A and B are shown apart, each in its own frame.
Chain A
Amino acid sequence: MSVAKSYPTSRSLPMGLFWAAALVLVAVIPWITGSTFHFHIAIMVCISAMATGGLAVTAWVGQLSLAHAAFAGLGAYTSVLLVTRFDLPVLLGLPAGALVAGAVAFVIGAPLLRLRGVYFVLITFALNELFRLIMLDVPALSGGSSGIAGIPKLSIFGMTLSSYEEVYPFALLCLALVMGLLVLIRKGQLGRRFGAVEENLALAEASGIPTARTQNLAFTLGSAIAGFSGAFLAHYVGFISPETFGFQLSVSYVIMLVTGGRLALWGPLVGALFLTPLPEFLRGAVEYQHIIYGVILIAVLRFLPQGLAGLPAQLSRKGDRS
């Protein structure tokens, strides 16, 4: 009998090396060009990729959350309030944001996740709007519609990261940590459980997998990652308002995820990498961002059902057939 293959089947090593090298090459572009603008885009890619990574964790158990931006907002407001009112170091504000977002997800997850498919999408969409409206309604905390400006910059151990060049390595480190967590989830026994729940919920339950708890765990982890990314975004940009975390942001994350590959481990990274820079490069056409995203989404759904991350496999399969 053949040697047992591990799940999920790992690609051959040379291909893995090729993609790792490609990723490193893309990551060093800002240092090569030295352009501040490129540093900014690269940092935004890291933040989007983290957030989309969180969305992926929930997607891996078969649920699509449209409240992802609200959890990012929850993390952002948590960190900003703790840092500005209680003098918490920003470095602790980020995990605190993750913790609060995760805790809220855990509590509301149990009843919410009983809804499946389009019903879950709709209820999370409504929740995102609810979050925005509540935040507008408590100006004492949120600054209301004028938001909170002058948010303390990212800093590590008392050292403020004041320039783009200083923020970028820290953003890369955080992204590496998030992707590391995603790898652990996917490659370990938890990924096996997630896969079972995503593929066939009734059979997973009948096989002894506690599907409700498993889905809630994924939703909690994913939303905590969103909280972390939101806190990062707040301290990087320096300004947040309830509108920052409106449902448009949730939709953007969904589009990035689907474009990259909803169920692929590297899907979130690939999706964020392709879609975050687009509107930035089309400076004059920022208002067309949603149209462009929409067109890309339709194209991906039509031609790349596994997303961009599934493209190499799709091409090689075509090659086999011919």
Chain B
Amino acid sequence: MSTLLEIGGLTKRFGGLTALSDVSFNVAEDAITGLIGPNGAGKTTCFNLITGTFSATSGTIRFRGQDISGLPPHRIVQHGLARTFQAATTFPKASVRENILRGALLRHPLGLGSMLFGGGAARRAEQGARDTVDKVMEALELTEHADRAAGTLAYGHQKRLGVAIGLATRPGLLLLDEPAAGLNPDEVDRFGSMLKEIREGFGVSVLIVEHHMRLIMRVCDHLVVLDHGEKIAEGAPDRVRDDPKVIEAYLGADHAK
């Protein structure tokens, strides 16, 4: 399997706090990679650095061999690297279909003239984007809610809509930040199946942050474990699960609570 994303020596300091310290790992193509660790380990910070929301204190980020560090978020999505947010994040007033369309249009860019005056190019772009939207809604089981305002959806559906928007940008790698948080056990299981279907159907690789260990163990091909901003383990899920360092990090965190 070839490497899609290479993280090298990634470090982020917020004032005196080192949220991420010299973290390196690779994300393989066509795989579902899990990024796990206790609360405050630096997982979301890692996502924010990869997707350009924050700039790294030091380190390199290469996607498909290209250096993408320092690019603004909207340019990084164009490179094929999309992300979802930890909180349920949607365009609340727009319909589900419109939400996904706003992501899908990335792959159908238009000049200012076409954006204002419409015409053939705008119509083709819209049609192409709508085809993507239908496919994405189908895959994430949102079709029946297509015309509802996103803000009125149940929490679980909003989380799924977040994934749908990211998927609609047709990424090579999709970064999911706790997509199953707040879902009931049935929904979590269903989401795991969807994730596998998405990988096949859309040919997308996934880097997923999750606290649901059952889901992680079920879907992930490879795990990276962070604790206090440092990488403490990496490898196949069943091996990482038995790693004493990992057990200690989680137990330690549990005792602290």
Whether both chains belong to one complex is answered with yes
A: residues with CB less than 8 A from B are 1-2, 4-5, 7, 184-185, 188-190, 192-193, 195-196, 199-200, 202-212, 217
The chain B residue with its CB closest to the CB of A4 is B130
Residues of chain B contacted by A206 (CB below 8 angstroms): 51, 73-74, 77, 82-83, 85, 166
> Which B116-167 residues sit within 8 Å CB-CB of chain A?
116-118, 122, 125-126, 130, 134, 143, 146-147, 165-166
Max chain B Cβ within 10 angstroms of own Cβ: one of A7, A184, A189, A196: A189
Q: Which residues of B contact A202 (CB under 8 A)?
A: 53, 85, 89
- Residue B196 at the chain A interface, CB threshold 8 Å: no
Would you give the shortest CB distance from A249 to chain B, in whole angstroms?
28
B143 engages A1 (CB within 8 Å): yes
Q: Mark B165-200, 1 if CB is under 8 A from A, else 0.
A: 110110000000000000000000000000000000
Given the complex of chains A and B, what is the CA–CA distance between A2 and B101 in angstroms? 16
Contacts of B89 in A (CB 8 A): 200, 202-203
- The number of chain B residues touching the other chain, given as a range, is 35 or more
Contacting chain A: which of B34-42, B102-110, B238-246? B102-110
B152 to chain A, nearest CB (A): 13
Known: A5-B147, A205-B72, A208-B77. 7 other contacts (CB 8 A): A190-B116, A192-B102, A195-B91, A199-B92, A199-B94, A206-B83, A207-B77
24 chain-A/chain-B pairs, Cβ below 8 angstroms: A1-B143, A4-B97, A4-B130, A7-B101, A185-B116, A189-B115, A190-B112, A190-B116, A192-B102, A195-B91, A199-B94, A200-B89, A200-B90, A202-B53, A203-B89, A205-B74, A206-B51, A206-B77, A206-B166, A207-B168, A208-B74, A209-B102, A209-B106, A210-B74
A196: chain B residues within 8 A (beta carbon):
91, 94, 102
**Cβ contact within 8 Å between B77 and A188:** no
Q: Is the CB of B115 within 8 A of A190?
A: yes
Q: Which 7 A-B residue pairings sit nearest by Cβ, starting from the closest? A: A208-B106, A208-B77, A189-B115, A199-B91, A190-B115, A207-B103, A205-B73
B78 in contact (CB, < 8 A):
yes
Whether the Cβ atoms of A184 and B116 lie closer than 8 Å is yes
- Closest CB-CB distance, B83 to chain A, in whole Å? 6
Residues of B contacting A188 with CB < 8 Å? 115-118, 122
For residue A7, which residues in chain B have a CB less than 8 angstroms away from its CB?
94-95, 98, 101
| Closest residue on chain A to residue B91 by CB atoms | A199
Cα-based distance from A287 to B65 in the complex (angstroms): 68
Shortest CB distance A144–B (Å): 40
Contact partner of B94 (CB less than 8 A), chosen from A195, A210, A211, is A195
Complex contacts, A195 vs chain B, CB 8 Å: 91, 93-94, 98, 102
- Chain A: minimal CB distance from B149 (Å): 11
Distance in angstroms between the alpha carbons of A2 and B53 in the assembled complex: 38
Contact indicator B74/A203 (Cβ below 8 Å): no
Cβ-defined contact, A192 with B105, below 8 A: yes
The answer to whether B58 has its CB under 8 Å from any CB of chain A is no
